[in-house]
Structure 1
Amino acid sequence: MASQQPAFAGSDFSVPMSVEQITRMAQDYEYNPMIPLRYWLRSAASLLKEASIYENEGHDEQAYLLLFRHAQLVLVHLADHPEAKQPNNRKALIQAEKDVRQNLKKLEILKPRINKRYERYSQLMKERQSRKSTPTALDDTIPSRSQRPPDPALTGVPQPLEAGENRELAVRLAQKELDRRATVRNASRQISTPEDQGRRTTGVGDSPGQGVDRSSRRADDDIARRIQEVRMNIDEWPVDRPRSTRSDHVQSTIRRPSAQSAQSTYKYPSVPKHRQADVQAPPTEPQQFDNGPSAPPQRPPKETVHQAHPTVPDLSPPPRPDKVSSPPPLPEKGMPVADASPSQSDLNPSTFTFKPSAYLENGTPLRTVFLPPTLRTRFLSLAYDNTRRNLETCGILCGTLISNALFISKLLIPEQESTSDTCETVNESAVFDYCDSEDLMMLGWIHTHPTQTCFMSSRDLHTHSGYQVMLPESIAIVCAPSKDPDWGVFRLTDPPGLKSVLSCTQTGLFHPHAETNIYTDALRPGHVFEAKGLEFEVVDLRPRK
């Protein structure tokens, strides 16, 4: 597989990393306790979904990073979140801690494989240096601050692919992999029992009324004891301050690691004992933003689905999706008609890896997002009646991760209430239930401006911040059918855009922000590429008229 190639081509993309280096990178993210806990819980669930895909494709380093980040986020930060004691959030946190227990075993399996590759690389570099006339010390594989940080998803990949030059290959790869996953998912549903299905849908959307049985608690205690035994043989993992003092600093934005901790060894976060969920208190609505001077804004009317809604999953089947396919791509001029690309049987996600197509302003790599070119036209046809009546329409862009790229494969139209300037999602839990049942990631959203130009309004910015705080690659497509240009693909800058919007306390449909560089085009140039032939399905959750 790609991550196990022995050849090191000297490129930053192919340099193996040690577990300690990956661990430091896993802690290097910004955590803001003023962001509602439901956002962070969805982020944690997304980390696990991505880690599973990377692990299956043989990208051990990236899988390790995501699993460790999930453990650190849940056990160090979310346990001390201001909303952690709410009954519905306690239930979700208990489930997240159970996930960490299981994932720590995976980390122990991945660790020796990663270190073996790194030690082999280090030995080769030492031998190479010894042959030089002026030996130099082996440099750390993490570059200086003036350079972009390494990408663990590309570790050991001799020749990562450029998205713009391999769109046809990407389409073929996605079609085969999406078909394979659908087959596995359908087969799993056929052999599972209703009780099994209920257990698989637990987590963020659990009902607080569900208790934890004794056998489950005994199994968790056994796992915890085994983890403690393993942990005794691991060096101490650095945490900036003791748990008892971290709660005194929950109002500040925390970023790890510091320069001092970069020289330290590590240890997995301690897994707390399993707590009994509070089954007496009724479920509460997700807490809204406060309007205090340091709190993020209240939820805007146009805000679409990007919150975890702690309700019992709706087990009713979703509407039958309509499959839409773009026309097959025509041969490029000067190119032979014969297809010299890999055959369909050779298309394996572990064989191909797409490199980042762009970077955030802070240097974080952005994975490629492949967008079906006909999705926008199909969405406008579904929104036609609303557009004619000067009402906005919104949809959710869903998809999955394949070969270190994100493929939009579903256009989900939620139940919604619209005005000429706003679009608010109704029954958000139905959207999350559907995405969970289909193993989908929410990659962004699309909406219309019936009479306005193609731009991101202040409400659009607040809506999109909820997506981008969970997934940096999230995009917002704006369609303005009566204007020129009539559409655009955008993301918030980071910095300053994302942080500015998250800290904004202004209300109202349209309000200014101090920064001028608050959002940018994600398509020209950017990390989004249209891919002719990429199929997608439309799922309309709106009530039938």
Structure 2
Amino acid sequence: MASLGAPLSVQDLTDQASKYEYNAYIPLRNWLRTASMMHKQAQVYAAEGNDPQTYLLLYRHANLVLEHLTNHPERNLPENRKALSAATAAVGSDIQTLEDIRPRIKKRHEEFQARRKAQQKSLQSLEDKSERLVPQELDGTSRVAHRRSYEKQTLDAIGNQTLAAKLAQREVRRRDAARRSVRQAGVSEEEESERRTGGVWGDWEKELKRQSTEADGDLSAQLQEVARMQRNGHQTSNYSRPYSQTSSSYHYPSVPHHGQQERRTDVHSQPPVPARPPKEHLPPPYDPFAIPPALPPKPPGQLTSRLLSEQQPQPPPVPGKYTDSAPSAPPLPGKIPPTARADTPTTDLDEFTFKPAAYLENGAPLRTIFLPTPLRHHFLNAASTNTRLNLETCGMLCGILKNNALFITRLVIPAQTSTSDTCEMTNESDLFDYCDKEELMVLGWIHTHPSQTCFMSSRDLHTHVGYQVMMPESIAIVCAPSKSPSWGCFRLTDPPGKHAILSCSKPGIFHPHDVDNIYTEALKPGHVVELDNGPLEVVDMRPKR
């Protein structure tokens, strides 16, 4: 992960950004959804001040769109033209962001290298002490200096669930408040949705503070700009390896495989964004001692008067007198330091980032996904009618990115058709419209096996690969309420599972695969961590019965 460890150079980040697999046989609508997901993540990292990860994702987005998607076999289909145009327009606005970030990344890397050289020179001049200066000390010093420039303290997900829950709750409240501010600024939901999906309103809180600028839609100019950046130390490695396969005669019905890009409007036709009033700040948690009412004098043994004396500039109430003949008088309590307060300051939640929780089989890091513990209970309640009728039910796991971790904050149950062995959404565009409107990412899916055991069928594997192409951390939860184990949380192995499914052309809904170890657990062990007090909302989009 670019945001962890020693500061990387621009060339290092460019090389990492270019290391992804492109498969031309995956429908263009899926790649456009992947590009949109990539762009949203970059916006979150930019808002958090993580320049390296922002640069990596924006550069990868530009490379994917300009080098591959504009040459995709389906690029001229009417349903893809508008979405592809919006994606290229987003790249045009991102090129300036890349240029703004690049000097900061270069400076941090050069400062880090200079510090290391100075440290190594000092160690060489202190040969008699070199045995006591173990490598960890040097690395620790560099990490501290690195954090001073931009990095934050890194934490493990396991053991810090309480902090993670507070972080997620605060972020959900902040987004709700920001959305109210957008409405108060006179921006309609339709206009907001069009700008977001068009790629020109990424960080819409900041964007409201200035007039929007039209993105450069000239593809040839953008290609020339990327080429210029490559000549300036951004040479792109070619890691595109399309799989040689023939199209399958059977088109797998898939939950995530239909984006709504074809409905996106042209970004050049949008009016400027109005100026936004000052940013609305959420009030801190209620503190009964922050604005105390006028109180009569209290005996000094009461904690309230001691706290009030620290909170207010005026002198505390004069305590009553106690004489030697009153030995039963309670002693004065010790002064409570400010750090002893139970409420964690809001700013502390911004001073850390979560470490990668696990790694793919190819060594790539996986960010933590925090899964609300009550989610399965709510889902099984919503699926209970279908389960009694031996019909499958599916739901979408939607959420947010914050502090380098992914939080499932919403369970969306789309309109769907079901059989005893299958479930399929009937209007995927409604789901993606909803996610775009609510600024949510699709982090995976959940479905029931009413009468079967808990496993990933071949149909499930072909469905899930679409999610994992969009985001490596994506998960599939299977609930088998009548069996033991009653549920499981899975992902495709990478390699060999993801590659095997992408290259599979066997017909039929259910068929065997010739690869072992095609999927694995994502919970224990893995990158998924259950969260008891995380925010969770359930949205049922099925028609009312």
Aligned to 1:196: 191
- Judging changes above 3 Å, is the alpha-carbon distance between structure 1 residues 232 and 505 closer, same or farther for their aligned structure 2 residues? closer
1:89-238 equivalence runs, <5 A: 89-133=80-124, 157=151, 159-194=153-188, 196-197=191-192, 199-200=194-195, 202-203=197-198, 220=217, 231=228, 235=232, 237-238=234-235
What is the alpha-carbon distance in structure 1 between the residues aligned to residue 25 and residue 183 of structure 2?
Answer: 39
Aligned to 2:320: none
Aligned to 1:276: none
- Is the contact made by 1:354 and 1:404 (CA closer than 8 Å) also made in structure 2? yes
- Judging changes above 3 Å, is the alpha-carbon distance between structure 1 residues 515 and 342 closer, same or farther for their aligned structure 2 residues? farther
1:65-84 equivalence runs, <5 A: 65-84=56-75
Quote how far apart the aligned CAs of 1:189 are. Answer: 3.0
Taking only aligned residues, the RMSD between alpha carbons, in angstroms, comes to 3.3
1:311-330 equivalence runs, <5 A: 311-312=262-263
What is the alpha-carbon distance in structure 1 between the residues aligned to residue 178 and residue 154 of structure 2?
Answer: 28
Q: Does 1:253 align with 2:204?
A: no
- Judging changes above 3 Å, is the alpha-carbon distance between structure 1 residues 420 and 313 closer, same or farther for their aligned structure 2 residues? farther
- Judging changes above 3 Å, is the alpha-carbon distance between structure 1 residues 305 and 186 closer, same or farther for their aligned structure 2 residues? farther
Aligned to 1:467: 467
| 1:383 alignment partner, SS class | helix
Aligned to 1:360: 360
What is the alpha-carbon distance in structure 2 between the residues aligned to residue 124 and residue 33 of structure 1?
Answer: 45
- Judging changes above 3 Å, is the alpha-carbon distance between structure 1 residues 454 and 105 closer, same or farther for their aligned structure 2 residues? same
Normalising by structure 2, what TM-score? Answer: 0.74
The one-letter amino acid of 1:111's match is R
Normalising by structure 1, what TM-score? Answer: 0.74
Quote how far apart the aligned CAs of 1:226 are. Answer: 13
Quote how far apart the aligned CAs of 1:305 are. Answer: 2.9
What is the alpha-carbon distance in structure 2 between the residues aligned to residue 28 and residue 216 of structure 1?
Answer: 31
Quote how far apart the aligned CAs of 1:429 are. Answer: 0.6
- Is the contact made by 1:366 and 1:473 (CA closer than 8 Å) also made in structure 2? yes
Structure 2 unaligned residues grouped into runs of 5+: 127-145, 200-211, 266-338
Greater share of helix residues, 1 or 2? 2
- Judging changes above 3 Å, is the alpha-carbon distance between structure 1 residues 169 and 154 closer, same or farther for their aligned structure 2 residues? farther
What is the alpha-carbon distance in structure 2 between the residues aligned to residue 177 and residue 236 of structure 1?
Answer: 37
Quote how far apart the aligned CAs of 1:235 are. Answer: 2.2
Quote how far apart the aligned CAs of 1:229 are. Answer: 12
Aligned to 2:133: none
The one-letter amino acid of 1:92's match is A
Deviations 1:280-333 (A, max 9, x none): xxxxxxxxxxxx9533674324x213431345379xxxxxxxxxxxxxxxxxxx
| 1:189 alignment partner, SS class | helix
Question: Residue 64 of structure 1: which of 48, 55, 69 is its match?
Answer: 55
The one-letter amino acid of 2:179's match is R
- Is the contact made by 1:14 and 1:158 (CA closer than 8 Å) also made in structure 2? no
What is the alpha-carbon distance in structure 2 between the residues aligned to residue 14 and residue 120 of structure 1?
Answer: 15
Aligned to 2:24: 33
| 1:31 alignment partner, SS class | coil
Quote how far apart the aligned CAs of 1:88 are. Answer: 2.3
Q: Does 1:346 align with 2:347?
A: yes
What is the alpha-carbon distance in structure 1 between the residues aligned to residue 223 and residue 526 of structure 2?
Answer: 46
- Judging changes above 3 Å, is the alpha-carbon distance between structure 1 residues 431 and 118 closer, same or farther for their aligned structure 2 residues? same
Quote how far apart the aligned CAs of 1:389 are. Answer: 0.3
| 1:160 alignment partner, SS class | strand
What is the alpha-carbon distance in structure 2 between the residues aligned to residue 216 and residue 110 of structure 1?
Answer: 19
Question: Residue 258 of structure 2: which of 299, 304, 307 is its match?
Answer: 307
What is the alpha-carbon distance in structure 2 between the residues aligned to residue 341 and residue 391 of structure 1?
Answer: 48
Quote how far apart the aligned CAs of 1:86 are. Answer: 1.5
Quote how far apart the aligned CAs of 1:233 are. Answer: 11
What is the alpha-carbon distance in structure 1 between the residues aligned to residue 42 and residue 98 of structure 2?
Answer: 11
Structure 1 unaligned residues grouped into runs of 5+: 4-11, 136-151, 205-214, 242-248, 255-291, 315-337
Question: Residue 21 of structure 1: which of 9, 12, 16 is its match?
Answer: 12
